[in-house]
Amino acid sequence: MGAEAAGGRVTARLRLVPAGPGNARDLWLVQSDDAVWPWYSPEMPGWAQVEESARAMGESWRRHGVHKWIAYDRASGEVVGRGGLSRTPVDDDWGQLYRFLPDEPWVRAVREGHHEAWVEIGWAVRGAFWGRGYASELGRAALAFAFDTLGVRAVVSCTLRHNVRSRAVMERIGMRYAGEIRSRGLVEGLAGERDDAPYAVCVVTSPSRNPGA
Ligand SMILES: CC(C)(COP(=O)(O)OP(=O)(O)OC[C@H]1O[C@@H](n2cnc3c(N)ncnc32)[C@H](O)[C@@H]1OP(=O)(O)O)[C@@H](O)C(=O)NCCC(=O)NCCS
């Protein structure tokens, strides 16, 4: 089966392959990278944790037809990063996003415990590959997948307020800053995780709903 048929994509420089148990080692290369893991947790994830993430990602691809990709350099085959889309669960954390989306019924529509009409986008690139536009390339492919393949109405992204590189990717690919939420995570200048870490939220709605955008 071709990469496209299985949910994969090919961009100018990247081969995007659905993450799952079969490429857990490659996911680990990204998630244990010293330029990556400090943005997600106070400690580097262990192999068992990454293996569990890979299992959950594979399960989501199977059940929901979407989750993160592993990004490989098309020319060298090297693992560049991981990223893409994920369904958002219906809970208090994600409920904070409603105020940044249109006041329309699709925003709260639920399917199998997840928001049916909007998804989250995210990315992580191994430190050796920063500054080359790979995250933006992956991000654009993910937006196309969201609107053209999944047919969702909006894509959201949340990043720690002080993660300027990630915020720059959001803006580079056409998302707009919408405001802040608070959730568990890291706070600039403080050790460990807090329940009320500030996250910047960016949103983009379906191009068909924004003619000329
Ligand atoms: C967030 C993250 C993915 C951004 O990576 P990045 O390499 O800065 O982002 P891009 O791939 O969009 O690259 C943009 C940079 O490449 C440059 N660039 C070079 N060639 C380029 C090209 N062909 N296209 C676009 N940009 C290009 C841009 O000028 C820009 O440079 P600048 O940062 O000096 O302004 C990366 O910092 C990361 O993995 N961080 C850790 C994980 C993380 O925080 N993830 C987000 C959690 S919400």
Domains of the chain: 9-209 (3.40.630.30)
Q: Quick one: which atom of ligand 1 is closest to the CA of 129?
A: 7
Q: What is the pLDDT of residue 210?
A: 54
Please give the distance, rounded to the nearest whole angstrom, from the Cα atom of residue 76 to the centre of ligand 1: 19
The CA distance from 176 to 27, in Å, is 29
Please give the distance, rounded to the nearest whole angstrom, from the Cα atom of residue 151 to the centre of ligand 1: 27
Please give the distance, rounded to the nearest whole angstrom, from the Cα atom of residue 123 to the centre of ligand 1: 10
Which spans in the chain are helix H? Answer: 24-31, 47-64, 92-95, 134-144, 164-172
Tell me if 18 sits within 8 A of 79, measured CB to CB. no
Going residue by residue through the chain (213 aa), what tens digit of pLDDT does each one get?
Answer: 445 557 999 999 999 999 999 999 999 999 999 999 999 999 999 999 999 999 999 999 999 999 999 999 999 999 999 999 999 999 999 999 999 999 999 999 999 999 999 999 999 999 999 999 999 999 999 999 999 999 999 999 999 999 999 999 999 999 999 999 999 988 888 888 888 899 999 999 998 655 444
Q: Quick one: which atom of ligand 1 is closest to the CA of 127?
A: 39
The CA distance from 73 to 125, in Å, is 12
- Coil, strand or helix: which one is 149? helix
Over its C-alpha atoms, the chain yields an Rg (Å, rounded) of 16
Q: What is the 3-state secondary structure (H, E, C) of 30-64?
A: HHCCCCCHHHCCCCCCCHHHHHHHHHHHHHHHHHH
Q: What is the pLDDT of residue 186?
A: 84
The CA distance from 3 to 61, in Å, is 13
Q: What is the pLDDT of residue 194?
A: 87
Whether this prediction's pTM lies above 0.85 is answered by yes
Residues with Cβ within 8 Å of 96's Cβ and at least 6 positions away in sequence, in order, are 181, 182, 183
Ligand 1 close to Cβ of residue 172 (< 6 A): yes
Ligand 1 close to Cβ of residue 142 (< 6 A): no
